């Protein structure tokens, strides 16, 4: 049968029709912005003076490499991402194991778990700002009342504590995502595996290490990779909570990009930062997949 004849087949046309909305949406909202960001990265562009745009070659990337703040933001982004992901994964798995227990009313807790994930970031960040206010906040008030601290803790006003506070917000908000993914996988592990292990005399720890963890490996790989990408790119939590401060102690690359684009009116530099972030995440994801061999077909 010729290609032209294939084209006329009704099911093909319907298939294409179904794909068109996604393709158009992807082109407009994903491909075009990314392409435009990549193009801008090679231009000097001031949004207030767009007529004076000029080709910059690699100037924007050279300027990034020469800017100590870029490297500081990069280091801090690495610390923020690594700490958040480790804590989210450990706490998320632990919570999933707890919620997997066959207890009466456990479904209520499973429902409540979604709460942090549902609350808009802007709401929780603004509430946290007040809760963590050193002088007026309820957190210091409670800790002082419980006799745990003598002096107020400056949660958002000292560089180390500010980084900890932003990490804590991220962990609180996104641990439920890890928990839900892990819980879903836990519920599909055949119980026979545990029964057999018990018969063989394996204790709870042994069963967790030899059965549960290997079964969770693939879902954890996906969760970790997604969470890493999302966390590394995170902007609003840090910006709303600390605006990158005090000083520049909680700057990450997303905040740096925003500052370059909006405060400094250097759209090219901001876009170049975005391109660097994209490249870093792409290469990082490839290495991660390769190291953990998730790109290979399972062998029988």
Partner 1 sequence: MAQKTPPVRPQPTTRRKFLSDLAAVSTGVAAGTLGLPAWAQKPSTKTGTVRVWGEPGPYAGVAVDAMNEWAKKFAPGLAFKLETLSWDSVYVKLMTDLAARNPAHCISVESPIAYQLMADLLLEPLDDVVQKVGRNRLIDGVKWEYWGAWQGKQYVLPAHHQPHLLVVRMDVVNELGLGDPDKWDWNDLRNAARTIAEKKKDMAGISLALGRNLCTDYHFAALLHSAGGRMFDPANKFQVVFDSPETVEALEYVKSLQPYMPRGAVSYSFLEVVDSIVTGRAGISFYWGRPYGRAAEENKAVFANLQSFNHARHPKTGRRSNWNDFQGWCIPRPNNQYVEEVKAALVYYQTSPQWLVRYCHSLMPNVSPVYKDVLNNPTLQTHPFFETKRQTIMNYYVTSLPYSSSTANEWLRGVNPLAGIVHGRSILAQTVQKVAVDNWKAADAAKWGAKELEQVRKENLRLLGGAV
Here's the x/- map for partner 1, 146-185, by CB under 8 A: it reads as ------x-x-xxxx--x-----------------------
The least CB distance from residue 245 to partner 1, in Å, is 5
CB 209 within 8 A of CB 193: no
249 scored as a contact of partner 1 (CB under 8 A): yes
- Of 32-40, 130-138, 282-290, 292-300, which segment contacts partner 1 by CB under 8 A? 130-138
Here the tokens at position 230 are 């999302």
Residues sharing a CB contact under 8 Å with residue 292, sequence separation 6 or more, in sequence order: 217, 221
Measured from the CB atom, is 96 or 162 closer to partner 1?
162
135 scored as a contact of partner 1 (CB under 8 A): yes
235 scored as a contact of partner 1 (CB under 8 A): no
Please tell me the distance from the alpha carbon of residue 135 to that of residue 264, in angstroms, as a whole number: 33
140 scored as a contact of partner 1 (CB under 8 A): no
For the residues of 172-234, what is the DSSP string, one character each?
HHHHHHHHHHHHHHHTTS-HHHHHHHHHTT--HHHHIIIIIHHHHHHHHHHHHHHHHHHHHT-
CB 231 within 8 A of CB 224: no
The least CB distance from residue 278 to partner 1, in Å, is 22
Measured from the CB atom, is 113 or 153 closer to partner 1?
153
Among candidate residues 136, 127, 135, the one with its CA nearest the CA of residue 165: 127
244 scored as a contact of partner 1 (CB under 8 A): yes
Give the residues lining the site for partner 1 (CB under 8 A): 47-49, 52, 133-136, 152, 154, 156-159, 162, 242-249, 259, 262-265
């Amino acid at each position: 049968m010729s290609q032209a004849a294939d084209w006329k087949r009704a099911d093909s046309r319907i298939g294409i029709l179904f794909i068109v909305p996604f393709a158009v949406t992807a082109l407009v909202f994903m491909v075009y912005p990314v392409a435009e960001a990549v193009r801008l990265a090679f231009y000097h562009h001031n949004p207030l003076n767009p007529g004076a745009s000029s080709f910059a070659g690699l100037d924007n990337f050279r300027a990034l490499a020469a800017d100590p703040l870029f490297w500081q933001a990069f280091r801090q982004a690495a610390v923020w991402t690594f700490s958040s992901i480790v804590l989210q994964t450990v706490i998320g798995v632990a919570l999933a194991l707890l919620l997997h227990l066959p207890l009466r009313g456990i479904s209520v807790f499973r429902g409540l778990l979604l709460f942090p994930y549902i609350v808009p970031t802007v709401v929780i960040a603004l509430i946290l700002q007040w809760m963590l206010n050193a002088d007026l906040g309820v957190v210091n008030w409670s800790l002082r009342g419980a006799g745990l601290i003598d002096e107020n803790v400056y949660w958002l006003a000292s560089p180390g504590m500010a980084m900890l506070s932003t990490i804590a917000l991220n962990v609180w908000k996104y641990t439920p995502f890890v928990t839900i993914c892990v819980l879903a996988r836990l519920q599909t592990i055949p119980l026979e595996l545990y029964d057999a292990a018990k018969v063989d005399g394996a204790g709870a720890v042994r069963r967790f290490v030899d059965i549960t963890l290997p079964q969770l490996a693939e879902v954890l790989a996906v969760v970790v990779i997604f969470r890493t990408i999302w966390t590394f790119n995170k902007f609003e939590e840090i910006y709303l909570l600390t605006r990158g401060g005090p000083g520049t102690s909680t700057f990450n690359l997303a905040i740096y990009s925003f500052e370059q684009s909006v405060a400094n009116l250097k759209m090219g530099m901001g876009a170049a930062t975005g391109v660097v972030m994209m490249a870093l995440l792409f290469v990082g994801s490839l290495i991660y997949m390769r190291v953990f061999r998730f790109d290979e077909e399972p062998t029988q």
